[in-house]
Amino acid sequence: MEKGKFTYPREEKLKSRNTIDLMFAEGRSVSKYPLRLVYVPLPENEPGPIKIGVSVSKRHFKKAVDRNYFKRLLRETYRHNKQLLLENQPQPYAYMLMYQTKDRLSFEEINTKTVQLFEKFIAQITAQ
C-alpha cells in the first residue's frame, strides 16, 4: 500500500458555492439506502480529479454532535474507498455524499453501503 493512498486532503474538499449550487441544480444522483451520491462534472477551472462533500440532515439528527458523528463516518468511508472512484471515473467529478435516514447504522454497515453506492455510480456513468 502506497503512503498517502487513504487520505482526504484539502484539495479534495468540496467548498465552492458555485459548484454546490450547480450540483443541486443540474447534477444527477444515485442512491443506495441510506446513502445518496449527487454528482456533476467538475468545471475546467477546478483543480484536481475529485471534489467531495458530506451532508447529514438536520431533520433526522437534531443534535449537532450526532450530525458531526455521521459526517465523520461518511468522510472515513470515502477515504477508505475513494480508489473505486479515482480508478473508474472518465473525467473529474464533484460529489456530495448524503446520509438520508434517522437510523443509526454502524461504521461497517455504512462502509458496505458506500462501496455498493460507488459501484452503482460507476455502472451508471459507464452506461452513459
List, in sequence order, every beta strand (DSSP E) within 57-124.
93-99
Whether the CA torsion 36, 41, 42, 43 is positive or negative: it is: negative
For the chain, the helix, strand and coil percentages under 3-state DSSP, each to the nearest 5: 45, 20, 35
Nearest to 82 by CA among 32, 121, 29, 43: 121
Q: Mind listing the domains of the chain with CATH numbers?
A: 11-127 (3.30.230.10)
The better pLDDT of the pair 120, 44 is held by 120
Tens-digit pLDDT profile for residues 73-110: 999 999 999 999 999 988 899 999 999 999 999 999 99
Segment 2-18 shows an average pLDDT of 82
Provide the pLDDT for residue 119: 95
Provide the pLDDT for residue 47: 79
The one-letter amino acid code at 79 reads R
Tell me: pLDDT of 55 over 50: yes
Tell me: pLDDT of 32 over 90: yes
Tell me: pLDDT of 4 over 60: no
DSSP 57: -
